[in-house]
Amino acid sequence: MDAPSGYGVTAVTPGTRSRPIAALAALALSALALVGCGPVPGSAGPAPSTIAQSTTAPTTTASSAPDPSPSTATPAPSVTPTAKPTPTQPPEAKPKPAQPAPLLEAGDRGEKVRELQHRLRQLDWFAGSITGDYGKKTTKGVRGFQDKRKLDKTGDVDRKTWATLVKMTRTPTKAERHNKLVPGPALLAQGSSGDRVRDLQARLKQIGWFSGLITGNYGSATVASVKGFQAKREIPVTGAVDQRTLDRLRAMTRTPTNNEMHNKVPKPSASGLDGRCLTGRALCISKSTNSLVWVINGRAQLRVDVRFGSAELPTREGSFSVGWKSRNHVSTIYHTPMPYAMFFSGGQAVHYSPDFAARGYNGASHGCVNVRNLPAIQSLFNQVQVGDKVIVYR
């Protein structure tokens, strides 16, 4: 049997063995078609044009064989690439409204800063000379003022801060803005007499600048008291009372009673007190008279001036009791000292206030009952016991 060479034959006589050879060629081509779906990686294989070549093959036999040429192969279905999904963008955050520019801020200079510093000094939030330079000292004063008044604590002066400050202070004069202490016309001076002098002496006595009897005569003792008060408050020291001196004194004191102005010191009495104060041990606190009376079994033991919370942070009214005491307490909310604190309603307490001692009624507490007489509150702290009544009323 002749073995085919190169899948073909060298010579074939027409009419002899042509059908078996054609059948073999067709079988070989079919086998190649079964494994020719794609090239095998790494192998080349014979070119399709060289398969079953014959110089004498009949036309009818050759045309019946499948053509393995690439041009007639069934094309592979094309695959359209799927586009990658576009990631969903998160919704853009709405821009925050721009904050208005501050009226005054660190680094500013000029007359407006001088006015700011003087207004802060009126409320004890700035000390020393007026400079007109908005530095660390001014920023600290502004921040303290804002914190006290529940404003945004930025250290910069916005419109709300400025409006609050202006409402609480007077407009300084040009001399005051430039550290020139020029006294105003004297309203009371050495040689004056009468009830206005009695009122002056009684107010000075309330804050420890006058001792002795109220006389109604403006003598050397009254001059010395007024000078001391003026020097402490950085008012021109003349010994005479001008409008600035009188305004500051009135802001720090209460209106004296007729008894005080005429040296009639009544014994502590329970008359006029709330009926709830007349039994047992009670701190009887009156908002109408700005006073605290320590009462035991209906008898008054001690009376002191007090100050209350502001309209925004009022002192609660009602019947309470002392829940606990703290001799050297510091507020955990405002970080300010509250010495000799006697707590009666949550965070509200009776305690000594150096601010009340310094500025009097030109200010308010955060809701506590402020006492400015240090020896009196020290004595009261030692006497009052946990469980004693606290009555706050109008």
Instruction: Round to whole Å and give the CA distance between 38 and 22.
Output: 26
CATH annotation of 111-177: 1.10.101.10
Task: Write down the residue that tokens 């020393």 correspond to.
Answer: 128
Instruction: Round to whole Å and give the CA distance between 193 and 210.
Output: 16
Residue 393 in contact with residue 317, Cβ under 8 Å? yes
pLDDT, mean of residues 338-349: 95
CATH 2.40.440.10 in the chain, residue ranges: 275-393
CATH annotation of 275-393: 2.40.440.10
Strand, helix or coil for residue 180: coil
CATH 1.10.101.10 in the chain, residue ranges: 111-177, 195-261
CATH code matching the domain that covers 195-261, chosen among 1.10.238.10, 3.20.20.240, 3.30.70.20, 1.10.101.10: 1.10.101.10
Confidence of residue 233 (pLDDT cuts 50, 70, 90): confident
- 280-310 residue pLDDT tens: 999 999 999 999 999 999 999 999 999 999 8
120 contact partners, CB below 8 Å, separation of at least 6? 126, 138, 141, 142, 145, 165
Instruction: Round to whole Å and give the CA distance between 29 and 23.
Output: 10
pLDDT above 90: residue 254 = no
pLDDT higher at 13 or 360: 360
Torsional sign, CA 102, 107, 112, 113 = positive
In sequence order, what E strands does the chain have? 281-286, 291-296, 299-307, 318-321, 324-330, 337-345, 348-352, 369-371, 389-393
- 27-83 residue pLDDT tens: 444 443 344 433 333 433 433 343 334 334 444 444 444 444 444 445 555 555 555
- 257-278 residue pLDDT tens: 898 899 986 665 566 889 999 9
- 132-159 residue pLDDT tens: 999 999 999 999 999 989 999 999 999 9
pLDDT higher at 67 or 162: 162
Which residues, in sequence order, are bridge partners of residue 352?
Answer: 371
Angle, vertex CA 152, rays to CA 252 and CA 171, nearest 5: 40
